[in-house]
Structure 1
Amino acid sequence: MNWGKGILLSIIAFIGIIMTMVVISVRMDGIELVRDNYYEAEIKYQDQIDKEASTLALDREVLRYDIQSKSMILDLPVGAKGNLQLFRPSDASLDKALQIEITEDGKKQVSMADLKPGYWRVQLNWTENGIEYYQEKKITI
């Protein structure tokens, strides 16, 4: 074999490898954005920062995970309303959203026992006395 044939075979092999990688990447399933409305959420990010600052001013842990009972414990006053989102970064089909309304004194427990084991982000948005708050916990079940 001479140099010309070797170079030609190398170029053809390189093109073949690149084309194979392109075909594999195009056929790939499961490539998802973190959120469907990612760009809208970015625009509203200052509101999120304000909610987090309000939460820090409360001086109490509103959202806590209890490992023994596999439940989230919410420390909210009577009349608070909100939304608890259970976000699974690795599989969007497992995400859940729960409406929360506190009607009696005491800490409210939300069971996490029925969730698939793994990494979860729990996000709580709520309104208390007309002020909006937000807290997030990262848990492993």
Structure 2
Amino acid sequence: MKINWGTGIVIAFICFISFIMYFIIKMNTDSKYDHDLVIEEYYQAELGFQDEIDKEENSNKLTENISWKKTEDGLIITFPENLDSQDITGKVSLYRTSNKKLDFDMPISISNNQMLIPNNKLLDGRWNLKVDWQYKETSYLYKKEIMY
């Protein structure tokens, strides 16, 4: 059977469309290709951005801000030395941009102006660290992208 050029073009279009449809279906059904939003309630969180800006400005006004370091035991978050650690409250959030199932929040629990997040909660890679804390009715926010 001889195929003319018109039939060849139709067959090529059908093959191309089938190829594209295969990848569309594969990307939508395979959980390996899940693309999650950073936060679920994005538009609700957008309303609180001015509060975050104010908290970050308060944090920038401190003479000494929060610092962090990676140790064998885990991630150590150090709060300013000039503040009384018993008056510090809030929470620490760690977000993994590649997998939202690894995200977690912890209440601030300080000893010697330091908080330890154990190694068993953290995988190697990029994390978004967010410390939302209060000291004597003033709110502060520390955000940092870290490589653990």
TM-score (norm 2): 0.82
Q: Which residue of 1 aligns with 2:135?
A: 128
Unaligned runs of 5+ in 1: none
Q: Which amino acid aligns with 1:95?
A: D
Residues in 1 aligned to 2:71 and 2:117: alpha-carbon distance in whole angstroms: 11
Over aligned residue pairs, what C-alpha RMSD do you find? 1.9
**Aligned position for 2:125:** 118
1:70 pairs, out of 51, 74, 96, with 74
SS at structure 2 position matched to 1:61:
coil
Q: For residues 97-116 of structure 1, what are the structure 2 equivalents within 5 Å? A: 97-102=105-110, 106-114=112-120, 115-116=122-123
Shift of 1:135: 0.1
Whether the aligned pair in 2 keeps the contact of 1:83 and 1:97 (CA below 8 Å) is yes
Q: Does 1:7 align with 2:9?
A: yes
Work out the percentage of aligned pairs sharing the same amino acid.
Answer: 28
Q: 1:41 aligns with which of 28, 45, 51?
A: 45
Q: Which residue among 61, 64, 72 is the counterpart of 2:65?
A: 61
- Partners of 2:109 and 2:115 within 8 A in 1: no
Contact 2:127 2:145 in 1 (8 A): yes
Residues in 1 aligned to 2:17 and 2:125: alpha-carbon distance in whole angstroms: 40
Work out the CA distance in 2 between the residues paired with 1:71 and 1:22.
40
SS at match of 2:108: strand
**TM-superposition CA deviations, 1:26-56 (whole Å, max 9, x none):** 2132221111111111121111111111100
Aligned to 1:87: 95
Alpha-carbon separation, structure 1, partners of 2:145 and 2:100: 16
Aligned 1:19-38 pairs, distance under 5 A: 19-29=21-31, 30-38=34-42
> 1: CA distance between counterparts of 2:117 and 2:27?
39
Count of residue pairs brought into register by the alignment: 139
Asked whether the 8 Å contact 2:108–2:115 carries over to 1, the reply is: no
Q: C-alpha deviations, 1:1-48, integer Å up to 9, x for none?
A: 311111111121122122212211221322211111111111211111
In the TM superposition, what is the alpha-carbon distance from 1:131 to its structure 2 partner? 1.1
- 2:146 — aligned with what? 139
